[in-house]
Copies of this chain bind each other. A is one copy, B any other.
Amino acid sequence: MNSAVVLLSGGLDSATTLAIAAADGFECYALSFDYGQRHRRELTAAAEIARAAGVRRHVTLKLDLRQFGGSALTADIPVPKARSSQEMAEEVPVTYVPARNTIFLSCALGWAEVLKAKAIFIGVNAVDYSGYPDCRPEFIAAFENLAGLATKAGVVEHQRIQIRAPLIQMRKDEIIATGMRLGVDYSKTISCYDPPDDHHSCGRCDACKLRLAAFAKAGIEDPIAYVS
């Protein structure tokens, strides 16, 4: 059985990605990051999703990106609320964490090489996203190329580690429909960048707005609780 490392944030995209990896027949190793994120509550969600999916192992790596700052998620910068779709489409917001997906994929690559895994799964999405540069197909392709040059697996053993981003060309409502078919329990997921407490999402940050719009479009009620 081939194994795969799956990046798991606790949000709906990564929960769906994990279900896809399992459905594709991979033995899954889930990797989460305690990186100093404001929405640290997502780590509890990630642990529950990993358990429900029956992953072989779930590792949460600590890596304090607050030492660098530079993002509303890792520094004392307010999370923007109630931005319009046009604003979301036009600019990279302050919730962008510099090089985050590069850092996450690099760590996943290290683990994948130790495990002799065939693939790394990442739930990035280039359609309904927030304008992040590291969610685009050209970024994923460049990382896969790098992975082949960076590792003993790639250079000596000619075992390329694939970077699979199965959601990259899907709309968020399609992602939800896919997850529902695969039995993902979205009540365990959280997307909010700025959760007001342990049980609610804000409903107004970009992540909440994209999520709510997608559930509405999919014709499914979002099972999590919002304050507004």
Contacts and interface: CB of A to CB of B under 8 A. Distances in A.
Q: Do most interface residues of chain A lie in helix, strand or loop, or is the interface mixed?
A: helix
A5 to B, nearest CB: 10
B146 A111 contact: no
A183 to B, nearest CB: 29
A150 B98 CA distance: 9
A152 B96 contact: yes
Nearest to A154: B133
* This protein's copies in its complex: 2
Interface residues on A, range: 35 or more
Interface stretch (A15-23, A101-109, A190-198): A101-109
B149 A146 contact: no
A152 B114 contact: no
A1 interface: no
A176 interface: no
A136 B148 CA distance: 12
Interface stretch (A47-55, A62-70, A199-207, A210-218): A62-70
Interface string A126-165: 0000000110101100110111011111111000000000
A46 interface: no
Contact of A65 (B70, B92, B110, B142): B110
12 contacts: A59-B68, A68-B114, A98-B113, A98-B151, A98-B153, A99-B110, A99-B151, A103-B109, A133-B149, A133-B150, A134-B150, A143-B146
